[in-house]
């Protein structure tokens, strides 16, 4: 965006030219001023944040619709894309649209992660008004499955890794290959939408996930740091897909979380885990990474374990007087090793989701 604006200036477009004004306004809209300081957001994430807040509130309300949940899901319903142009159509011109983007509007790049999370939230409230959006989303997601069973974020079969070796691609993330975290979300949606219809997609997705498991039992996380994020994304999906949590590969993931728990009962992971040799690198506990682990363990049936109790205690004892949790971490890679984001909402809605999930499961078994 900055380069576009600079180009217009260099080409001699005057300040009042509509194109130059629009380019500058787009940058100014991302500026945040707090006191004497100012920073520029890389983008905004209303679809993603609204879907996750909805998930947390739906858990709090035990799958009932409050006014807030209804308003959020109705807004999301209006944002679903249809037959707009999109780069994904180059590979799948015959596939009907039905995805959601990350931002308020981005016709060219709906993504499978947002699409799966939004439709998953809609499914939980069991309302007829969301049946069509869910089915459209599932059809689009299923049609975007790559060879080998995995799912990328924006396209299919985007695995031309030689392109990462050209000089200007020094960030090593020029492509959008399938990843375990997005694949987990995709098979969760397909399992919810119609497990019989999408049985083949789900089976191939689970096989891909199994093939991507690390030696320590974890999964790599492309869109959140890192092995904590990836393993959470996979385990929560496997529960929805109906996988038996007593299988060895799932037990190995549970043991991974048991081994990586910090002394204070929480979990944390450094962005250094993206550097070779790639493996988990511990960091001080954060509320949202702890919540990811708790949601994963609860999905695997680890409800009354000491590990989970210590994690829940960490969240409770570290809650601030304003009912929120402190967070200073930039742990969402735009490009691993190059560019990391901070989602300001993560330390608010993920702990709420985890605590509500724990409460609901305890009430169910007691």
How many CB atoms are located within 10 Å of the residue 59 CB? 21
Q: What is the CATH number of the domain that holds 61?
A: 1.50.10.20
Do 266 and 242 fall within a single domain? Answer: yes
The average pLDDT across 127-146 equals 97
Same-domain check for residues 83 and 179:
yes
Please indicate, yes or no, whether residues 105 and 57 belong to a single structural domain of this protein.
Answer: yes
| One domain for residues 48 and 33 | no
Does 5 share its domain with 60? Answer: no
pLDDT digits (tens, 9 = 90+) for 235-256: 999 999 999 999 999 999 999 9
170 pLDDT above the threshold of 80: no
Q: What would the mean pLDDT of 154-162 be, rounded to a whole number?
A: 94
pLDDT tens for each residue of 85-124: 999 999 999 999 999 999 998 999 999 999 999 999 999 9
* 276 and 320, same domain (yes or no): yes
What pLDDT is attached to residue 230? 97
The answer to whether residues 143 and 24 belong to one domain is: no
119 with 254, same domain: the answer is yes
Which pLDDT belongs to residue 165?
83
Buried b / exposed e over 341-358, threshold 16 CB at 10 Å, is bebebbbbbbbbbbbbbb
- For 8-39, what is each residue's pLDDT tens digit? 999 999 999 999 999 999 999 999 999 999 99
3-state SS class at 112: helix
Q: Is 113 designated active site?
A: yes
What average pLDDT does range 257-265 have in this prediction? Answer: 97
Q: What is the band of 56 on the pLDDT scale with cuts at 50, 70, 90?
A: very high
Q: Are both 89 and 204 inside the same structural domain? A: yes
Report the alpha-carbon distance of residue 74 to residue 232 in Å, rounded: 27
Give the rounded percent of residues in the chain with a pLDDT score beyond 90. 87
Tens-place pLDDT, residues 182-224: 999 999 999 999 999 999 999 999 999 999 999 999 999 999 9
State which of 41, 57, 73 marks the end of a domain: 41
Q: Which residues contact 302 (CB under 8 A, 6 or more apart)?
A: 254, 308
Confidence band (pLDDT; 50, 70, 90) for 164? confident
pLDDT score recorded for residue 52: 98
Domain that includes residue 96, residue range: 44-365
Q: Give me the catalytic one of 49, 111, 113, 155.
A: 113
Whether residues 250 and 285 fall in one domain: yes
CA-nearest of 314, 271, 321 to 293 is 314
Largest CA distance in the chain: 72
- The two three-digit tokens of residue 236, written as one number: 């929560």
DSSP category for residue 318: T
- Confidence at residue 64, expressed as pLDDT on a 0 to 100 scale: 86
Q: What is the pLDDT of residue 158?
A: 95
The whole-number pLDDT of residue 317 equals 96
CB 205 within 8 A of CB 152: no
In 231-335, which ranges are E strands? Answer: 267-269, 282-286, 332-335
173 and 66 housed in the same domain = yes
Split at pLDDT 50, 70, 90, the class of 335 is confident
Q: How many domains does the chain have?
A: 2
Residues 251 and 268 in one domain: yes
* CA–CA dist 287, 203 (Å, integer): 33
Given 26, 41, 56, the domain boundary residue is 41
């Amino acid at each position: 965006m900055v380069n576009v604006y600079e180009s217009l200036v260099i080409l001699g477009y005057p300040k009042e030219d509509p194109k130059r004004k629009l380019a500058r306004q787009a940058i100014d809209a991302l500026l945040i001023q707090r006191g004497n300081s100012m920073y520029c957001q890389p983008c905004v994430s209303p679809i993603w944040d609204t879907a996750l807040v909805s998930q947390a509130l739906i858990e709090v309300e035990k799958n009932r619709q409050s006014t807030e949940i209804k308003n959020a899901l109705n807004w999301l319903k209006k944002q679903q894309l249809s037959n707009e142009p999109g780069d994904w159509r180059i590979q799948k011109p015959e596939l009907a649209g039905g995805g959601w983007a990350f931002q308020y509007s981005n016709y060219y790049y709906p993504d499978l992660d947002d699409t799966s999370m939004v439709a998953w939230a809609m499914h939980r409230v069991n309302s007829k008004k969301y049946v069509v959006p869910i089915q459209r989303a599932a059809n689009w997601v299923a049609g975007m499955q790559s060879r080998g069973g995995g799912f990328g974020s924006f396209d299919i079969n985007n695995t031309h890794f030689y392109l990462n070796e050209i000089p200007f691609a020094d960030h090593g993330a020029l492509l959008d290959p399938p990843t375990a975290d997005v694949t987990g979300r995709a098979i969760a949606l397909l399992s919810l939408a119609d497990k019989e219809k999408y049985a083949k997609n789900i089976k191939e997705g689970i096989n891909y996930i199994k093939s991507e498991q690390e030696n320590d039992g974890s999964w790599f996380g492309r869109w959140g740091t890192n092995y904590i994020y990836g393993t959470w994304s996979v385990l929560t999906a496997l529960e929805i897909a109906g996988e038996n949590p007593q299988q060895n590969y799932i037990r190995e993931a549970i043991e991974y979380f048991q081994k990586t728990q910090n002394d204070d009962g929480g979990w944390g992971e450094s962005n250094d885990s993206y550097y070779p040799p790639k493996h988990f690198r511990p960091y001080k506990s954060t509320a949202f990474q702890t919540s990811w682990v708790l949601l994963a363990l609860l999905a695997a049936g680890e409800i009354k374990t000491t590990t989970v109790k210590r994690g829940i205690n960490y969240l409770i004892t570290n809650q601030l007087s304003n009912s929120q949790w402190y967070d200073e971490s930039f742990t969402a890679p735009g490009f691993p090793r190059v560019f990391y984001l901070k989602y300001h909402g993560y330390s608010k809605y993920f702990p709420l989701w985890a605590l509500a999930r724990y409460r609901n499961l305890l009430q169910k078994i007691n």
